[in-house]
Structures are given as C-alpha cells and as structure tokens.
Amino acid sequence: MIKVDLNCDMGESFGNYVCGLDGAVAPHISSANIACGFHASDPLVMEKTVALCRENGVRAGAQPGFPDLVGFGRRVMEVSTDELRAMVLYQVGALKAFCEAAGLKLQHVKPHGAMYNMAGKDEKMALAICEGIRAVDPSLILLGLSGSKLLSAAEKTGLRAAREVFADRAYEEDGSLVSRKKPGAMIEDEDEAVARVISMVRERKVKAVTGREIPIRADSICLHGDSPQAARFAERIHAALEEAGVTIAPIADVIAG
C-alpha cells in the first residue's frame, strides 16, 4: 500500500491582510505548514490556524522563514549559522506553544521560501536549521525537498525527515525548484498538476522544465495555499490519489511505514 501526505502552507495572513484559502483547503489535506510570524502571520493568525487544524483533523507543522514580511520570505538573506539556528528555534518554539495550548502536538517543521531553497543546497545552513529544530524538540520531523541537503543534515543531527515534492512547481534537472523569476515556474493547469502528482507518487519520476524525466521520491506533496487555485487543486489531487489507490495520511504515519 502506498501512503503519502498532502500538505499546504497556511496561516500566511497578517493583521488586516488576508492571504490564502485556508478554510477551503483544510478539509482536503493531512498536514499544514503554519507561518510563524517572520515571513508572514502574527500571533492571532497563528492561534486561529492551529484551531483550524484541530477542527479539520489536520496535523500542524511550523514553517519558519527569514524576517522579511515585505518580501514574503522569498528574498535571499545573508545570515550567520548562529542567527539561522536561533531564528528557527524562536519560530518553532512559538508555534509549538500555540499547539500545546490547543491540545495538539506539533508534528513537523518545514522551512519557508528562500530559507528552504538556500538550505537545500547549503549544508551549513541545513545543519543550523536542524540544530534549531532539535533544540525545541528532537522528535519533530523535518520536511525537506526530495534529494536536498536538508534531508542529509537531518540524518546527521538525528532528526527524522520526510521527502517533499511539489504539485504546483516546476523542477530543474538537478531536482531543485525552478526560480519563481523564470517563466513556467508555477504549474497552473489542474490536469497537469494532477498528472505530475500521480507520476511522482506511483512512478517516482517527474518531468523537468527541460523535458527530461528525473527520479524523485515523495513522502509528502505540497500545495501553495496562496495560489488562486489552491482549494480546487487540493480537492482534485486528493480525489485523484484515492482513485489511484494511494492512501493520504499525515507525515508521521507515512514515514513510520
């Protein structure tokens, strides 16, 4: 039996600004990556998003990012490894507190945006992130791009890790995500997104932006909650996976076997 997690970035609103379709997406996913106040969100949004997870039976995860509200955490920042470790510890600790107050256990951590992409190729950054996570709770699961430095860093620091793939992002031949600055970086066609997901989960391969098929492993599939098609994508991908005989389960259950 094939199991896979279906996750979504959530809790990205801030003050009076609403971002994402969290309420519409939540019924179709098994795990949520909740912004922790640096790249998006605020304390009240964090609390409400944790409550939304509880109401829908969705496992909660922390999504720490760079302190860059204006750039939504997608701009490259130069920080020391000590700063990075402390940033992660601070944000994960905050989300963990909201989960505990709501009677939930924090399941995982997924770095956001530029932090995620940079650490995927930079071992020192990846290790600093893992050390920050471990300082909060060594039982937490690191969610990282399939084939990235984040996963090898998790192994070195004794963290459990899960391999993530993207339903709505294009891939380079080296397995990294195509930069959002390039055309074709986002997969906007529903049929294409569904077909790619089934290929990644069942056949363990995906077509890169060059047209070449590359190997890939999927423990968890990510949808972006801030895209206009988020709710529809989530509903269709959930249904397509079930039709293909794939069981949708939280990350902890998937990597447990």
Residues 56-110 have pLDDT tens digits of 999 999 999 999 999 999 999 999 999 999 999 999 999 999 999 999 999 999 9
User: Which has the higher per-residue pLDDT, 181 or 164?
Assistant: 164
Tell me: pLDDT of 219 over 70.
Answer: yes
- Cα 73 from Cα 88, distance rounded (Å): 13
Tell me: pLDDT of 112 over 90.
Answer: yes
- Give the N- to C-terminal CA distance of the chain in Å, as an integer: 10
- Cα 170 from Cα 212, distance rounded (Å): 12
DSSP symbol at 203? I
Residue 119 buriedness (CB in 10 A; 0-12 / 13-18 / 19+):
buried
Tell me: pLDDT of 49 over 90.
Answer: yes
CATH fold group of domain 2-255: TIM Barrel (3.20.20)
pTM given for the model: 0.94
**Average pLDDT score over residue span 208-231:** 87
Share of the chain above pLDDT 90, in %: 83
Phi, psi (5° rounding) for residue 64?
A: -75, 145
Closest CA to 141 of 194, 219, 75: 219
Please state, rounded to an integer, the average pLDDT across all residues of the chain: 94
Closest CA to 125 of 137, 111, 143: 111
- Cα 106 from Cα 166, distance rounded (Å): 22
- Cα 202 from Cα 1, distance rounded (Å): 11
Q: What is the pLDDT of residue 257?
A: 63
In order of 15, 97, 156, 177, the CA distances from 90 in angstroms are 20, 11, 22, 27
Q: What is the pLDDT of residue 198?
A: 94
Rg (CA), the chain: 17
Share of the chain above pLDDT 70, in %: 99
In order of 47, 189, 200, 253, the CA distances from 246 in angstroms are 32, 22, 12, 14
